[in-house]
Amino acid sequence: MAVSSSSAQSVFRNKMARYYGLFTIGFLVVSAIMLLLEVFAGLPSRIIGWIFLLLTMALYATIGIISRTKLLDEYYVAGRNVPAVFNGMATGADWMSAASFISMAGTLFLIGYDGLAYIMGWTGGYVLLALLFAPYLRKFGQYTIPDFVGARFGGNTARVVAAICAIVVSLTYVTAQVVGVGLIMQRFVGVDFRLGVVLGLSGVLVCSFLGGMKAVTWTQVAQYIILITAYMIPVTFLSLKLTGFPIPQLSYGQALQNIMRLEQEQGLSKTTESPVVPGKFVTSGYVPPFNEGMNNASARAAVTQINTQFGASLTPPEPITIPDAKRPELGDWRGTPWNFLALMACLMLGTAGLPHILIRFYTVPSVRESRMSVGWSLFFIFLLYFTAPAYAAFSRWNILENVVGKPVGDLPAWTETWGRNGLIAIRDFASIDGVEIGKQPSWVKNLEKSKAVVIEDLNGNGKIDLGPFEKIDDKTGRAGEISGTAVTEKSVDGIVQYGEIGTPTAGTIDGDLVVLSAPDIAGLPFTIGALVAAGGLAAALSTADGLLVVIASAVAHDIYFRTINPKASLQTRIMLGKGMIVVAAVIAALLALPRLALIAQMVAWAFSMAAATFFPIVLLGIFWRRANGPGAIAGMIGGLVVTIFYMAMNYVNPAFNVLGITHLASGIFGLPVAIILCIVFSLITKAPPKEIQDLVDNLRNPITDDEMMAKYGSRGSAQAH
C-alpha cells in the first residue's frame, strides 16, 4: 500500500511540475511580448499596467475555480497531498508579504546593518520550525493550531484562547496586506486607493472562497513564481549596469565599498563621542552596526493620525529622543548589540509561532515530506532575502553617487517619476524657485507652519523668487523672497545634500522607493516596472489568502464546530468556513481604508506576541510530556501580558527600557515568563492523563497515521458533552 501511494504521489508531483513549468514559460513569453509591444509599438504604460494586473488576477481566479471543492480535507488542508517542493513555494509566497517584497530592501537602505536583524530573523526562524515543530505538527495532522493546543492541553479553554490569538494576529496581518494591495493598484494603474482595495480583495476571494486551502496553495505556487521572477529581473540589470556583472548577490560587495567611500567623502560616516556617555564613540553609516537611537516619533504620529481621522482628542506623548544631550539620565544604548539580538530572537521565534505558517505543514502527505518541505520553504524564501541587501546597497550607492552633490536641476529622471508618487522629494529651496505661491510642495508648507520658513512675495508676481542661489543677504537674512531658521547656505545652494533627500512629509525617502524605482534606475522599459507591481501584488495577495483561511478555520472549525456545536454537519462547517472568509475580508477592507500607521506597527508586534505565546506552548507541548492545560493557559496569558506591557510602555515612552531594547522586541521578556509560568503551573497541578501522554509519544513517532491521530483531535470537543 505504501509503495502504490508513494508512486501515485510522484506521478502527481511530476504532473504539477509540468503544469507549473509550462506556466513559467508562458508567463515569460507574455512578458516578452509586452516588452516588444512597448518598445516597438509604443503601447502606453497605463495599458501595460492594466494588462499585467488583470492577467495575473484572472490567472489566480482560474486556479481558484479549477480547485473549487466541497471536501473538508481539501478546504482546510489542501487534501494533504501537496508535494514538499510545491508546499515550499506556497509557504514562501504565504510568508513573503508586501512588506518583504517592497519594504524590506527599503528598511535596509535606511538603517543599514541594523536592518539585517530582519534578514536573519525571518530566515533563522525556519530552522526552529524544521527542528522543533513541523514534523510533529504534521504527525498530529488535524486542521488548525488551536486544534493542536486543544488536543494536547485537553479542553476547550486552551483551544479558544489559542483561536482568539490566531484571529487577532491574522486579522492585523491581513489588513496590512490589503493596504499593500491598494497602494500597488494606486501606483501602477492609477486607480483610487479604495477601488484598488476592492479589486484586489475580489481576486483574493474568488480563490480562497471557492477552494479554501487547496485553491490557496496552488495559487500561491503560481504567485511565488511571479514574485520571484519580478524580484530578480530588475536587480540583475541594476547589477549589470552598475558593476558590469549580472549576479547581484555576489557583486554588491563592490556597492558596499563604494557606499563606505562616498559616505566618508560626504561626511555621512563619522565617529562621534556620545553626547551623554563620555568616552563612548559611535560610528554612523551604512555598514557600521548599532547606530540607531530610540524615539517615540511613531507613537506620536499614530496618535496624531487617529485624532485627525476620527476626530478624537487624545494627547500625543511628549517627544523623547535617546540619546539626548539635555537628558543624560536616559542613557545611550547605541553601540550595544542587545536590541539587535533581542529583535532577531523575537523575529525567529515569532516566525516559528505564526499560525498561517504552521498550518502549511499539515498539507504535506507525510512526516518525511514535512521535513523536506521546510527545507524547500526556506530555500525559496532565502532566494529573496539573500537578494534584498543587494537591492538596498545598489540603491544607496546610486543615490550617493548620482543624486547627492548634484545640482537640483540636473537630477536623474527617475527622481521626478517617483517624486510624483510621493516616494522621494528633494528638499532644497532652490527646487521651489519660480513656483507659484500656494503651489509649493508640502514639505515647504510644513516648514512654514512651524515658522522655520517665511515666504513673502516682495515683487508681487505671485511666484516664489529665490534670486541668485548660494546667497543669503547678510543684513536681511533673506534668500530672495524666503527667510527663516531653515534658510541656510546649504539649503538654498541648489546642490542636493544627503539630508535634503526625503519625501513631502518625512525627512528620509520612503523605503518602498528602493525596489519600485530599480527598473527605472537600471534604464529598463515600463513593462519591467509593471512586472514588479504584479510581483508585489502576488506577494500581498498570497499572504492575504493564507491568512483568511486561518481566520475562517479558527472561527468555523475551532470556535463553532469544536466548541459550540460538535454535531454540525460537514456541509454546515464548509458553508460557515466560506462565510467567514468573506466576513474576514470585509473587516480587513474596512480596517485598511483609513490606512492607519498603527496597523503596520501591529504587524511588527505580531512576531513578539507569537514568540511569547504560541512558540513556548507548542514547544513544551511537544518536548515536555508533563506540560498540561493549566500550565499552557497560564503561560500564554502571562507571556502575552508581559509582552504587551513592555510594548505599550516603551512605545509611548522610550525612557522605559531594559538594555535599550525597543517595543518591537518586547517578546524577549514575555517568552521566559511564558515558559516559567507553564512549567510552574504544570508542576503544581495534576499530570496530564495517560491518553495525552500517549499522544505526545505518538507525535514523536514519525510513521504517519492520520486515522489513528484523528481520535486525539476530537478529544477537546468530546469533553464538552
Q: Which residues bind another protein (CB under 8 A)?
A: 1-2, 6, 113, 116-117, 119-120, 123-124, 126-128, 130-132, 135, 249-250, 252-257, 287-289, 337, 340-341, 344-345, 366-368, 371-372, 374-375, 378-379, 382, 385-386, 389, 697, 700-704
Kindly calculate the radius of gyration of the chain based on its CA atoms and give it in whole angstroms: 27
Q: Which residues pair with 465 in a beta bridge?
A: none
Phi, psi of 426 (to 5 degrees): -90, 115
- Pairing mode, if any, of strands 271-273 and 425-426? unpaired
Smallest gap from Cβ 661 to another protein, in A, equals 14
Rounded distance between C-alpha atoms, residue 124 and residue 523, angstroms: 35
Give the nearer residue to another protein in terms of CB position, either 58 or 247: 247
Q: How far is Cα 703 from Cα 689, in angstroms, rounded to an integer?
A: 23
- In angstroms, give the least distance from the CB of 468 to another protein: 43
Answer for the pair 643, 669: CB distance below 8 angstroms, yes or no: yes
Least Å from the CB of residue 435 to another protein: 42
Nearest-approach distance from CB 382 to another protein, in angstroms: 5
323 prior amide bond cis, ω within 30: yes
Q: Which among 32, 145, 100 has a CA at the least distance from the CA of 619? A: 145
Q: What are phi and psi of 308, to 5 degrees?
A: -75, -35
C-alpha cell at 547: 491568512
Q: Which is nearer to another protein, 449 or 700 (CB)?
A: 700
Report in angstroms how near the CB of residue 386 gets to another protein at its nearest: 6
Tell the smallest beta-carbon distance from residue 392 to another protein (Å).
Answer: 9
Strand positions, DSSP E, 26-112? none
How far, in Å, CA of 162 to CA of 552, rounded? 14
Nine-digit cell string for 427 = 528638499
Is there a contact between 419 and 435 (Cβ–Cβ < 8 Å)?
Answer: no
Nearer to another protein, 293 or 702 (CB): 702
Q: Write down the least CB distance from residue 274 to another protein, Å.
A: 16
Q: How far is the CB of 637 from another protein (least distance, A)?
A: 27
Looking at residue 378, its amino acid is L
Question: How far is Cα 61 from Cα 484, in angstroms, rounded to an integer?
Answer: 57
Is residue 144 within 8 Å of 75, Cβ to Cβ? Answer: no
Q: Which of 671, 646, 672 is nearest to 659 (CA)?
A: 646
As measured in angstroms, the least distance from the Cβ of 186 to another protein is 31
State how far Cα 681 lies from the chain centre.
Answer: 35
Indicate the residue among 211 and 389 with the shorter CB distance to another protein. 389
Instruction: Pick the closer one to another protein by CB: 155 or 248.
Output: 248
Q: In whole angstroms, how close is the CB of 608 to another protein at the nearest point?
A: 18
Among residues 273 and 470, whose Cβ is nearest to another protein?
A: 273
Q: Could you tell me the smallest distance in angstroms from the CB atom of residue 283 to another protein?
A: 9
Contact 322, 333 (CB under 8 A): yes
Q: What are phi and psi of 178, to 5 degrees?
A: -65, -40
Our CB check for another protein shows the closer of 135 and 688 to be 135
Residue closer to another protein, measured from CB, 260 or 437 = 260
Q: Which is nearer to another protein, 291 or 563 (CB)?
A: 291
- Identify the H or E element spanning 403: none
Q: Which among 277, 300, 369 has a CA at the least distance from the CA of 82? A: 369
Let me know: does 504 contact 443? Beta carbons within 8 Å: yes
Decide whether 100 or 156 has the Cβ nearer to another protein: 100
**Bridge partners, 715 (sequence order):** none
- Residue 130 per-residue DSSP state: I
The minimum distance between CB 304 and another protein, in angstroms, equals 34
Q: Could you tell me the CA-to-CA distances from 479 to 132, 405, 459, 475 in Å, in that order?
A: 65, 20, 14, 11
CB of 245 to another protein, least distance (A): 11
> Among 490, 425, 430, 478, which residue's Cα sits nearest to residue 454?
478
Contact 155, 686 (CB under 8 A): no
Between CA 390 and CA 526 the distance in angstroms is 22
Whichever of 382 and 645 has its CB closer to another protein, that residue is: 382
For 252-288, b/e burial (b = at least 16 CB within 10 A) is bebbbebbbebbeeeebbeeeebebbeeeebebbbeb
Instruction: Give the shortest CB-235-to-another protein separation in angstroms.
Output: 14
Q: What type of residue is 464? A: I
Q: Which is nearer to another protein, 127 or 454 (CB)?
A: 127
Q: Give which of 690, 721, 660, 673 is closest to 331, Cα–Cα.
A: 660
Nearer Cβ to another protein (254/295): 254
Nearer to another protein, 217 or 704 (CB): 704
Nearer to another protein, 113 or 656 (CB): 113
Query: Least distance to another protein from the beta carbon of 373, Å?
Result: 9
